[in-house]
Amino acid sequence: MHFFRSPLVARILFPGGLWKGKDKNAVYLTFDDGPNPHVTPWVLELLKRQEIKATFFLVGNNIKQNPELVAKIESEGHRIGNHTMNHERGTKTKLDVYLNSVNEVDRLINSDLFRPPYGRISFWQFLKLLKNGKKIIFWSWLSYDFDNQISTEKIIEKAKKIKGGDILVFHDSEKSFSNLKGSIEKIICEIKAKNLSFKTL
Ligand SMILES: [Zn+2]
């Protein structure tokens, strides 16, 4: 099953998290798991050509390997956020290990935005990070670009339901690149045709 829309139960469990953006005349485009030397430059070119800004949730190990890409993302007017050091799944990681992972990324970049990998986070991890001043960003629409069982046509079809206020997730990772290349520009054009603008978080 593919849940393009985030399930209501998750929204109820984490009420202090952000599932939708405030501006109903805009959508919030986000890219997770980079920076990646192969995919991120392609995404940045696309965003420049389309004249839109996005938010990138970066994995610490990838930041360490590609610091120049982090600088490029920021210098081109996009926002960055913390996505843990090693893409840990919160529900399978001890509280202190998880918090250390987030702190380690905080030493590499400066951002109050945090997105839990897989959207999986324990209640205590969630509360502790909120208390530490993090804005915890989930999503309202997931592209499934990372899933090679899904066709780009299906992603484009599902994207027709995108509306104002939606937080959209794509990935600047190797395994998503084929679906990303095949779908995202078309999706951006359809969103623009609905007279919605693009904002960062
Ligand atoms: Zn991720």
pLDDT, tens digit (0-9, with 9 covering 90-100), for 86-117:
999 999 999 999 999 999 999 999 999 999 99
pLDDT at 11: 73
Residue 13 lies in a domain: yes
Q: Which residues pair with 58 in a beta bridge?
A: 82
pLDDT at 94: 97
Q: Which residues contact 1 (CB under 8 A, 6 or more apart)?
A: none
31 C-alpha vs ligand 1 centroid, how far in Å?
Answer: 9
Residue 15 lies in a domain: yes
Taking 70 as the pLDDT cut, the residues of the chain under it are: 1, 8
pLDDT at 109: 98
116 C-alpha vs ligand 1 centroid, how far in Å?
Answer: 7
Residue 102 lies in a domain: yes
pLDDT at 1: 65
Residue 125 lies in a domain: yes
Domain of 160, in residue numbers: 8-199
The domain total for the chain is 1
98 C-alpha vs ligand 1 centroid, how far in Å?
Answer: 14
Residue 189 lies in a domain: yes
* Secondary structure percentages of the chain, helix, strand, coil, to 5: 45, 15, 40
pLDDT at 194: 97
Residue 2 lies in a domain: no
126 C-alpha vs ligand 1 centroid, how far in Å?
Answer: 16
The CATH number linked to 114 is 3.20.20.370
Residue 21 lies in a domain: yes
34 C-alpha vs ligand 1 centroid, how far in Å?
Answer: 9
pLDDT at 4: 78
193 C-alpha vs ligand 1 centroid, how far in Å?
Answer: 29
18 C-alpha vs ligand 1 centroid, how far in Å?
Answer: 16
57 C-alpha vs ligand 1 centroid, how far in Å?
Answer: 8
56 C-alpha vs ligand 1 centroid, how far in Å?
Answer: 10
19 C-alpha vs ligand 1 centroid, how far in Å?
Answer: 16
Residue 1 lies in a domain: no
pLDDT at 5: 80
